[in-house]
Structure 1
Amino acid sequence: MSDFAQLPQKPVPRFPGWWAALGPGVVWMALAQGSGELIWWPYMIAKYGLTFLWLLMPACLLQYPLNLEIGRYTLLTGESIFHGFIRLHRGFGIFLWILMSVSFLWFGAFASAGGTAMAELTHWPNGWSQREQSLFWGYASIAVFIGAILASGVVYTLIERFMKLVALVTVIGLISACMQEDVVATLPEFVRGLLGPTAAMPRPWQASDASKLLTAITFAGLGGFWILFYSYWLRDKGAGMAGLIGRITGLGGAEEAVSSDGILPKDNEDSRGQWKLWRRFLSLDIMIGIIGNLLTTLMTCLLAYALLFPKGLLPQEYELAVVQSQFFAVSWGEIGRLLFLVVAAAFLTDTWLATADAVSRIQADIVQTLFPRTRNWPARRWYYLFLALLTVITSFTMQLDAPGPLILTSALIGFGGTILFPPALYLLNYRLLPAHLPEWAKPRGTPWLLGLSFVVYLALAAAYLYASFRL
């Protein structure tokens, strides 16, 4: 284990105000919308009705303790949570690094999933198959996003503004669609479904859907290695002690010195007061992500139950974002259908943007943490190197299969990491770090919520294996 005693101590940076500080939770909410909300929950509702709806609220709330501990570590040290895992045990950190790297080989599928919406919207290039059109638009969106990152001043600022815009437009559209008469008529039965199954399963269970259900539950917020992104967004937002670390800038901005090692809070009265504000910010920012994600997921489920379930329409293959266009068509007709396809394209391709950015940050951070000599290169150079590699790799893996199976592959690998996070966070935040913190900065309450998350995720893994491989 690494010793935190070697880290310098400085006063906690001043809290900038709520409007300036909030943001990572919205980015988390918008990124989570890319798979759980738009694809797998509507799929499960459209196919099995309200059978599994009661799992949605617990699934969203289950991620709160994980995000709280991930955020707490970054706010108190300025370090990424991955750096913390490496401090906990170098071998454990390397294992997670390898597992994470494998899980993100296929996230280009989100760009091709967004391409399914653009292909349906334009039917262009002419004469190409649906698959070829979807891939074309997927590659085009990647090119646009890479250009935007390169031209940006601070990369995180670009990510946050774009994700806020996508989330706002989508929420407004979903609320409008849910207010239509045909949808409102199903609301009482839908609400009862939140309390538990209200009727027998409308069709026989298919074992092949076990991975889809597991993905829907785990990624009701951000599951797998995606949940670790929150640490990096807080870091570049400059939350807590991370305000002293530095940020990744685009080629359009001046290069900043970004430290791999953290800084601990100094024990004085001013730091104590500032930490109280940062601690409140953390809880509120996380709840914005969780509640916002829960509400939008509930709306897509309601629309799927009212509009897709009666017709047996399922989002899959190269139509992942096509059948849901009826969500907006119910209120705005053909114009609404076309608008939904545009929103869905942004909805899904922004997942590629945020994931490419976050994974590049993680890779650069891990390399500079594990191999100190690599710090001869600035963090920004490593970031762009990994961004280029990820772009090439995911552009290739997009060709291997339809978006759905690729997204599931990435999710299932990442779920293995999710099971390991609760005990690691407990050891890090409740055993290793507190000895080096002022009394007012030590974790409050009990870590039983982390234990609950661990037990539930372990049970989900067992249920998945049973449902998938039982004779």
Structure 2
Amino acid sequence: MTDDEDEPVAEPETDGGVADADVYASESEGREYRESVYTPVDDDSLEEAPATSEYPKSDGGGGFRIADLPKVPKVSHIVGPSAIMLGASLGSGETMFWPTIVAEGSWGLYWAFWVGVITQFFINTELQRWAIATGESIFQGFNRLNRIWPLFFLVFGFFQIGWPGWAATGSEVFAAWTGIVPRADWYLIGVVSMVVIWLSYQAGPLVYNVIERAQIALMLLAVFIGIVLMFTLNTFGEFANLPAGAVNFGALPSDADFDIATFLGGLAYAGAGGYTNLSQGVWAREKGYGMGAYQGRIKNPLRGSGETESQDGSYTFEPTDTNMKRWRAWWKVTQREHFLTFVVGVIVVATIVMSIAAQYAGGGEFGGSGVAMWLDTIIPGLGGGISAWLLYALLFIALFSTQYAQIEVFVRNSADIVYQKIGRSRGWDMSYIFLGLLTVFTLWGMAIIGFQVAQPWIILVIGAAAAGVMMWPYNALTIILNTTRMPEHTQPGWARILAMWWATAFFGFFSILLIGETLVTRFGLDAFGTTVTVMGSAPGGYALWLFALAVQIYTMYRSARAKIDASGTVEDADEASGFLA
């Protein structure tokens, strides 16, 4: 087929008088997104957006240049950001936290898993909204609200994934699986795995493309093994428990048996969680979604990858009929990509692995330790053979893929923050910031693993709890940013605003429980005790609940007020809205 044959011919016009060929990318244009897209523009030649209701509010944080919203490719052309996030999820919630929670407490908590996944669908796509509309990362958006927020998330991100828990746990699994070293000497494999990850990042000139391909390959392999295990272990009978657990809303174990840190980690990792979710918008920008196509990608300076691509721009589009329809189409294709890749993938893989845990370890007590459950109970109970071998392989691939992605998450997010805060004004090259942080972070991980600073599961629980607490403020900030700073036609619709209010309350509730428990158990401050039912909390616990209520009211008021004030300020704004706008 020639290039000319790829171009649309005599496309009919849509109801608004705009031809489909003006909205949707041709097959050849769409295929370019598979390698990620960058469309260089001369910022000096672009008009700066005026301070009117048709454009985002700059609030002194730097203006936006006006450019056309790019044409919209098919879902199959833009699969990538959500696939990376799915790979990042495999070794946390899918194979460790939720299987352990179900094994210890039965399927009665399954409701929290799927509610958590659907909640993260709304969170993640809202995190993408700012990048698609402006080409900026979510950290640049948060910086427009208050300059402290990017640094806050940088610190919490380090607490979440600064310790290489997945590499450590994966190495313990690999040692038990292969016997190449004694299980107690897992750290030797951990150090080697960090070196392998660093080297693999040098496999191509565009860092994002390397990560995407590696994660898609690991993800597909893990999914295939999981499906095979479902048949070889015959866990279909466990699925009969799904309906009751799925509708068991609000059911929680008694306070005596309720490990809030593990449960909050499970909620955060019902998907990716924490600092990882914040990468969704950055990956969307690197892939070239929407206005992100005008932002440069991070190149590997060790590969002699040519001229640096500009990453300094902030963009917006004029609300013409064509751009309105392109926005609506971009939003539709973005949601499809995330739902079909991430949501479906997470639910399918995690449910299969939960069924294995429930059948072979149900009713056991593992102290919340997924590692102990798999390595000391389930796999020995299989008596060897192909099923045990496949289960070892699945666990190792899942944990390795998560560590692989988490290094990318921390380095990419942190490089963006460092560049925006310090590097841009000093003329630093983003590619060198990324490479420097990658190297330092890898060496740090090797040192932590080599000196065995903490046991693998303890590292994972601490990181997961930090992820859950972090999600509370950034859920609130995201919906405030997307309503108060965006024009009417790119704002979220009321259904999504309600979903983000729910997300803020959901993670706020469990964060307060964790904060209260930590103050009591770690610091002996019994006055800050909190309870699941709220009533019966200590005086300081009530103060924590009042603080959570104040955050919720503030979030709801700011976003609702902005949504109402923006109504009717952009002509034909409905042209840009669609399902779950």
Deviations 1:174-225 (A, max 9, x none): 223223575223332343222229x997x99445x32111111221012222
- Once the two structures are TM-superposed, the CA of residue 31 in structure 1 deviates from its matched residue by 1.0
Deviations 1:121-148 (A, max 9, x none): 22123xx4x232x211122121111111
Q: Distance in 2 between matches of 1:142 and 1:467?
A: 34
- Residues 1:147 and 2:222 aligned together: no
- Once the two structures are TM-superposed, the CA of residue 32 in structure 1 deviates from its matched residue by 1.2
- Residues 1:430 and 2:483 aligned together: yes
Deviations 1:90-141 (A, max 9, x none): 12333333332333321x111111111210122123xx4x232x21112212
Who is 1:212 aligned against? Answer: 262
Mark the structure with the bigger radius of gyration.
2
Question: Contact (CA 8 Å) 1:327, 1:340: kept in 2 or not?
Answer: no
Tell me which of 77, 89, 94 is aligned to 1:20: 77
Question: Could you say what secondary structure the match of 1:294 adopts?
Answer: helix
Give the AA of the match of 1:278: W
Give the AA of the match of 1:183: T
Deviations 1:291-341 (A, max 9, x none): 2212211111111111121666778386575358749969xx612322332
Deviations 1:250-270 (A, max 9, x none): 333435314144211233333
- Flag the 1:113–1:321 CA change in 2: closer, same or farther, 3 A: farther
Alignment of 1:311-330 (within 5 A): 316=369, 319=372, 322=375, 326=379
- Once the two structures are TM-superposed, the CA of residue 18 in structure 1 deviates from its matched residue by 2.2
Deviations 1:437-456 (A, max 9, x none): xx543433351211111111
Greater relative contact order (Cα < 8 A, sep 6+):
1
Question: Could you say what secondary structure the match of 1:124 adopts?
Answer: coil
Who is 1:408 aligned against? Answer: 461
Question: Contact (CA 8 Å) 2:235, 2:359: kept in 1 or not?
Answer: yes
- Residues 1:173 and 2:225 aligned together: yes
- Residues 1:450 and 2:500 aligned together: yes
Question: Contact (CA 8 Å) 1:313, 1:323: kept in 2 or not?
Answer: no
Q: Distance in 2 between matches of 1:189 and 1:349?
A: 30
Question: Could you say what secondary structure the match of 1:186 adopts?
Answer: helix
- Flag the 1:95–1:189 CA change in 2: closer, same or farther, 3 A: closer
Tell me which of 390, 399, 405 is aligned to 2:441: 390
Tell me which of 135, 144, 154 is aligned to 1:87: 144
TM-score by length of 1: 0.88
Question: Contact (CA 8 Å) 1:430, 1:443: kept in 2 or not?
Answer: yes
Q: Distance in 1 between matches of 2:124 and 2:422?
A: 27
Question: Could you say what secondary structure the match of 1:150 adopts?
Answer: coil
- Once the two structures are TM-superposed, the CA of residue 465 in structure 1 deviates from its matched residue by 4.6
Q: Distance in 2 between matches of 1:103 and 1:262?
A: 29
Q: Distance in 2 between matches of 1:244 and 1:383?
A: 20
Who is 1:268 aligned against? Answer: 320
Who is 1:136 aligned against? Answer: 188
Question: Contact (CA 8 Å) 2:235, 2:356: kept in 1 or not?
Answer: yes
Who is 1:341 aligned against? Answer: 392
Q: Please, what is the CA RMSD of the aligned residues?
A: 2.9
Tell me which of 455, 460, 463 is aligned to 2:510: 460
Q: Distance in 2 between matches of 1:211 and 1:451?
A: 23
Q: Distance in 2 between matches of 1:374 and 1:284?
A: 38
Who is 2:36 aligned against? Answer: none
- Flag the 1:215–1:313 CA change in 2: closer, same or farther, 3 A: closer
Question: Contact (CA 8 Å) 1:303, 1:327: kept in 2 or not?
Answer: no
Tell me which of 420, 430, 438 is aligned to 1:369: 420
Deviations 1:269-306 (A, max 9, x none): 33233222211111112212122212211111111111
- Flag the 1:167–1:265 CA change in 2: closer, same or farther, 3 A: same
Question: Contact (CA 8 Å) 1:315, 1:322: kept in 2 or not?
Answer: no
Who is 1:380 aligned against? Answer: 431
Give the AA of the match of 1:117: V
- Flag the 1:328–1:354 CA change in 2: closer, same or farther, 3 A: farther
Give the AA of the match of 1:353: Y
Number of residue pairs aligned between Structure 1 and Structure 2: 458
Question: Contact (CA 8 Å) 1:15, 1:277: kept in 2 or not?
Answer: yes
Q: Distance in 1 between matches of 2:145 and 2:252?
A: 47
Q: Bigger CA drift: 182-191 or 210-219?
A: 182-191
Give the AA of the match of 1:225: Y
Question: Contact (CA 8 Å) 2:97, 2:269: kept in 1 or not?
Answer: no
TM-score by length of 2: 0.73
- Once the two structures are TM-superposed, the CA of residue 4 in structure 1 deviates from its matched residue by 6.3
What runs of 5+ residues in structure 2 fail to find an aligned partner? 1-57, 521-528, 530-537, 539-581
Q: Distance in 2 between matches of 1:89 and 1:8?
A: 22
- Once the two structures are TM-superposed, the CA of residue 5 in structure 1 deviates from its matched residue by 6.7
Question: Could you say what secondary structure the match of 2:362 adopts?
Answer: helix
- Once the two structures are TM-superposed, the CA of residue 23 in structure 1 deviates from its matched residue by 1.8
Question: Could you say what secondary structure the match of 2:278 adopts?
Answer: helix
Question: Contact (CA 8 Å) 1:325, 1:340: kept in 2 or not?
Answer: no
Deviations 1:49-70 (A, max 9, x none): 2232222111111112211211
Question: Contact (CA 8 Å) 1:328, 1:336: kept in 2 or not?
Answer: no
Tell me which of 98, 102, 107 is aligned to 2:155: 98
Question: Contact (CA 8 Å) 2:125, 2:334: kept in 1 or not?
Answer: yes
Who is 1:241 aligned against? Answer: 291
Q: Distance in 2 between matches of 1:361 and 1:41?
A: 27
- Flag the 1:373–1:282 CA change in 2: closer, same or farther, 3 A: closer
Q: Which has the higher helix share?
A: 1
- Residues 1:229 and 2:286 aligned together: no
Question: Could you say what secondary structure the match of 1:100 adopts?
Answer: helix
Question: Contact (CA 8 Å) 2:476, 2:501: kept in 1 or not?
Answer: yes
Q: Distance in 1 between matches of 2:503 and 2:100?
A: 25
Q: Distance in 2 between matches of 1:324 and 1:33?
A: 21
Q: Distance in 1 between matches of 2:66 and 2:252?
A: 60
Give the AA of the match of 1:65: F
Q: Distance in 2 between matches of 1:264 and 1:99?
A: 30
